[in-house]
Amino acid sequence: MILLASILAGGLAGFFYARWQKHSWSIPPFRYLWLIFIAFLPQFFAFYLPATRIWYSDSLAALSLVSSQILILIFCWLNRRLAGIWILAFGTALNLLVIVANDGFMPISPGTAGHLVAQDTLQTIQEGGRFGYGKDILLLPENTSLVWLSDRFLLPGWCPYQVAFSGGDILIAAGMFWLMLTQGQPLKAK
């Protein structure tokens, strides 16, 4: 949800910025957009589609996640001339790094996970086990590689929607916001 909000916020900011500059606004001129469709497909079946994700073994789901993120990085490289894509690519690379370092899944600590689900639900998941059908695994901080890159940030407590996210996620959201704001072009002073 926070990542989708970055598209919406960036699009709105870009629209008003373009109007202020007396230009029209459009989606950044990405190349090889079809590659994103190909890249997302393994994740769609492994994590999002309820009918298929239950059939995935942990190792196949991990392989789907890693291969998918490698393809996304290739897409970023192919679009490296667009402003903002490097921020998004760096965030993706950080996520991929911590995922690869932790058996193909994004680690989340029991302390952070306790803010997302009830304690009795949390107790049914053993350490190192998948956190539902998502991309996360439950790991104690001392057993996590690159713990500072894991899903360790939370929205403020007063926020009714709770989500855990990583530093990489923040960069991905920032990169997408910048891409949508600038339409992939360097900003020009009026």
Partner 1 sequence: MKNALTQLALNVQKIDRRHIQFVLALLTLVMLVLGAGAPEDGGHVGH
Q: Does 82 bind partner 1 (CB under 8 A)?
A: no
- Tell me how far apart the alpha carbons of residues 125 and 137 are, in angstroms, rounded to a whole number: 9
Shortest CB 122 distance to partner 1, Å = 8
Token pair recorded at residue 48 = 């999002």
Half-sphere exposure of 188 (CA within 13 A, CB side): 8
Surface-to-core class of residue 18, CB atoms within 10 Å of its CB (0-12 exposed, 13-18 middle, 19+ buried) = middle
158 touches partner 1 by CB under 8 A: no
Stretch that binds partner 1, among 16-24, 55-63, 108-116, 139-147 (CB under 8 A): 108-116
Cβ contact 79:71 at 8 Å = no
140 binds partner 1 per the rule CB under 8 A: no
Binding mask 20-49 for partner 1 (x = CB under 8 A): ------xx--x--x--xx-xx--x----x-
CA dist 110 and 143 (Å) reads: 12
* 159 sits near partner 1 (criterion: CB under 8 A): no
Instruction: Work out which of 57, 119, 123, 124 binds partner 1, going by CB under 8 A.
Output: 124
Q: Judged by CB under 8 A, does residue 167 bind partner 1?
A: no
